[in-house]
Amino acid sequence: MTLRKLRDAVIVVGAFLALIWILQVFNWADGYRLDTDFGILPQHVSRLPDIFTAPFLHFSWQHIEGNSVPLFVLGVLAAYRSIARFLLVSLIVAVTSGMAVWFFQSSTELTVGASGLIFGYFGYVVIRGFIDRSLVDIGVGAVAGVLYWTILQVAIPGTPGISWIGHLGGLVGGVLAAWLVRSSRTPAIAGGWRIGGGSGGTGATGATGPVPGSGVGPGRRTAGRKSVDDMLRELKEKGF
């Protein structure tokens, strides 16, 4: 992580937070009609696209106030490695959270709010380090887990006035996103673990340079592609 990447994460997440507050002002001034027009109304085909607009809206000032701090903190923690990966994670979580609500929630219950994203970022941040085998990200995930583990209680069925289905869908989406956008290239240390996170790209993890104790010589190895040394070794074994 660099200060520039952290700065970019703060700017992007801060801009998103500012946008939902601006929308809240207009929503409140208009009697919360935006919620009615662009919230998720389950099992109505014409309202399916609203899974992408609902995270920007809230039912009340208390609703948006309760979401703002965890959204900012967890959003920055999810974004500091790569803004591109963060945007892709946000898209995945919006889809899984919104679709869970659209499919499984009562057709008479309107749903809005950024809490599905919050749960998704939480799941992503906690799991990312183990999938990327990054010691730094595991530490970041542990801190996030200590700070916000209590939000998992909201995903328990039966909480009145709370879309636990949307929260659970977001959490599952965050874990899924951690796998789908996992790092393709990160600095390796002994045992395959890494000090930092990925420097870019998505796909299966790989390593640049020799891995101590592996017997593999210098060169880049990427999932699905053999190195020159590997191909030469196979040719020699076949007698060529």
Whether pLDDT at 233 is above 90: no
In a 13 Å sphere around the CA of 191, the CA atoms on its Cβ side amount to 6
Give me the pLDDT at residue 163, please.
Answer: 82
Higher pLDDT: 239 or 203? It is: 239
Predicted confidence at residue 148, as pLDDT, reads 87
| 221: number of Cβ within 10 Å | 18
pLDDT digits (tens, 9 = 90+) for 46-100: 999 999 999 999 999 999 999 999 999 999 999 999 999 999 999 999 999 999 9
Domain locations in the chain? 3-180
- Three-class SS state of 221: strand
> How many other C-beta atoms can be found within 10 angstroms of the C-beta atom of residue 189?
15
Average of per-residue pLDDT across 116-134 = 94
Residue 186 binned pLDDT confidence (cut-offs 50, 70, 90): very low
Instruction: Report which of 81, 166, 186 is spatially closest to residue 119, judged by C-alpha positions.
Output: 166
What's the pLDDT score for residue 160? 63
Q: Tell me what pLDDT residue 164 has.
A: 86
Please give the pLDDT value at position 7. 95
d(CA 159, CA 177): 26
What is the number of other CB atoms lying within 10 angstroms of the CB of residue 190? 9
| Structure confidence by residue, pLDDT tens digits, 216-228 | 333 333 334 445 4
200: pLDDT strictly greater than 60: no
Task: Provide the phi-psi class of 200: left if phi over 0, else alpha when psi is between -120 and 50, else beta.
Answer: left
Which pTM value belongs to this model?
Answer: 0.76
Q: Where are the beta strands (DSSP E) in 178-225?
A: 207-208, 220-221
At 98, is the secondary structure helix, strand, or coil? Answer: helix
What is each CA distance from 104 to 79, 165, 208, in whole angstroms? 30, 7, 44
Q: What does the pLDDT read at residue 152?
A: 76
Q: Please list, in sequence order, all residues whose beta carbon lies within 8 angstroms of the beta carbon of residue 69, skipping any fewer than 6 positions away.
A: none
CA angle 221, 224, 226 (to 5 degrees): 50
Greater pLDDT, 167 or 184: 167
pLDDT, one tens digit per residue, over 170-183 is 999 999 999 999 87
CATH assignment of 3-180? 1.20.1540.10
Query: Which residue in 176, 173, 214 sits closest to 192, CA to CA?
Result: 214
Residue recorded with tokens 């309107």: 110
Residue 82 CA, chain-centre distance (Å), reads: 11
